[in-house]
A and B are shown apart, each in its own frame.
Chain A
């Protein structure tokens, strides 16, 4: 039975992972674009990305595009697996007739 992942379950990190997993396997998203899409502040997004990176759920690449610094983020294989297990656990929890509202 899949288990809930405490790190991913936090609402902001759940939305970050949902966004990254919605992209293709080798697709990276720009930091500023992700911030605007999820309506977060720079600091808030950076802090949550730091935790996800420490768990090796995301990979962060700092680079230069047209001589401007840019940061791109993608979900790692481990991150995709963990997110998939977490969502499966949430669905199982809802499907479980023994689970009560609390």
Chain B
């Protein structure tokens, strides 16, 4: 390069690089995940609170989770379709396929493991499913560079372990409504406010 570059110019260039790098990663990472976190955080919180209010009535509890998770699945599909129509900001065909395959395989294996291990209680089944989901969420975060996914996964896993091993079973659902549902919801709201 023929023109001399001053230290000030070099400093400003590096600052611009850092700013654009941060803004890009945040903007891309927050595109769809914030809405999905708000949705599933709300569903988890509602399902846990409803379960707490229905303790001793297992037929209601199964129905609550089935209805709310089905609702979450439908809304997620609608959101995904909306994002697809509006056009995603980035495409990463190979990684997208790998992440989809990973979640699909995890779903299959978790189902197998549930049938093999036959959890003794609803709380045990719930703690197992939540930690398995958070494991997948953290792996996805490591692949996509979403550090917040790794930290959220760790925090919810830690809260689940506290709830399962240390909390009285009668308060497990309330605890998980606040930490699990609240954690997802809070992170989703934070992403929406901070990164948009």
What residues of chain A have their CB less than 8 Å away from a CB belonging to chain B?
3-6, 9, 11, 14-15, 18-19, 21-24, 26-30, 32-33, 37-38, 65-66, 68, 70, 72, 87, 90-91, 93-94, 99-102
Contact = CB atoms under 8 A, between A and B. Distances in A.
A72 B91 contact: yes
Nearest to B23: A37
B159 to A, nearest CB: 30
Contacts of B20: 15, 18-19, 22, 38
Nearest to A32: B87
B93 interface: yes
A22 B20 CA distance: 8
B1 A9 contact: yes
B92 A27 contact: yes
Interface of B: 1-8, 10-11, 13-14, 16-17, 20-21, 23-25, 27-28, 84-85, 87-95, 144-145
16 contacts: A6-B1, A6-B3, A11-B16, A14-B13, A14-B16, A18-B21, A19-B20, A26-B95, A28-B92, A29-B90, A68-B87, A90-B13, A91-B14, A93-B10, A94-B7, A102-B4
Contacts of B4: 102
A83 B152 CA distance: 33
Scoring A14, A18, A28 by chain B CB atoms within 10 A of each residue's CB, the highest score goes to A18
Contacts of B21: 18-19, 21-22
Contacts of B145: 24
Contact of B93 (A4, A6, A22, A26): A26
Contacts of A11: 13, 16
A95 to B, nearest CB: 10
B24 A30 contact: no
B25 A22 contact: yes
B8 to A, nearest CB: 6
Contacts of B2: 6
Contacts of B94: 26
Contacts of A65: 87
Given A23-B24, A28-B91, A66-B85, A87 B17 contact: yes
B5 A27 contact: no
B67 to A, nearest CB: 32
Contacts of A72: 91
A14 to B, nearest CB: 6
B50 to A, nearest CB: 38
A22 B92 CA distance: 13
A51 to B, nearest CB: 16
Contacts of A99: 7
